[in-house]
Amino acid sequence: MDLLAGIQPYQSALDYHLERHSVLASNIAHVDTPGYKPNDLARVDEASDATFEGALTLAMERTNPAHLSTSGSDATVTGRTFQDLSAGVGNDGNYVSLDREAAKVAANQLRYDVISAIVSAEIKDMSYAASDAKG
């Protein structure tokens, strides 16, 4: 029985939101770049075929032998990058709307925080159980 089975499903969600944050932050950094077209990251259903163009898979790397292993399908984040041109184009050909991108970053951060709180609670529960409920 794997002790971390309860939190492993959340790992890919945290990794996805972290990667999406990087993509959205890049859009904000290019707010004044003429002709820039913003990107976004969409989750790919693990049951679907992720071989289409724009799909990416990120794997956790074990940098220390003492780190926990990330074997199995939960160890990867699968997402699809796409251009989000829905904000419209500016006079300089730039499609980035600072307000829109900031709202996306805030919503993504909120989702990350909620999942992180769930994982923290799960780990706290496991710690409490491991201490024979003497915590």
Contact 16, 5 (CB under 8 A): no
Residue 36 lies in a domain: no
Residue 35: the pLDDT is 95
Positions in the chain short of pLDDT 70: 1, 3, 45-62, 66-78, 133, 135
User: What are 81's two structure tokens?
Assistant: 């990058």
Amino acid 127: pLDDT: 85
In a domain, 115, yes or no: yes
Task: Report how many domains make up the chain.
Answer: 1
CA distance 129 to 33: 53
123 domain residue, yes or no? yes
Residue 112 lies in a domain: yes
Predicted confidence (pLDDT) per residue in 24-44, tens digit = 999 999 999 999 999 999 987
Entry pTM: 0.71
38, part of any domain: no
Question: Residue 43 has what pLDDT?
Answer: 86
Q: Does residue 35 sit within a domain? A: no
Examine residue 125 and state whether it is found in any structural domain, yes or no.
yes
**From CA 81, how far away is CA 53, in angstroms rounded?**
9
Torsion angle defined by CA atoms of residues 89, 91, 94 and 100, in that order, rounded to the nearest 10 degrees: -60
- 86 in any annotated domain: yes
Q: Domain span at residue 54?
A: 12-29+47-61+74-130
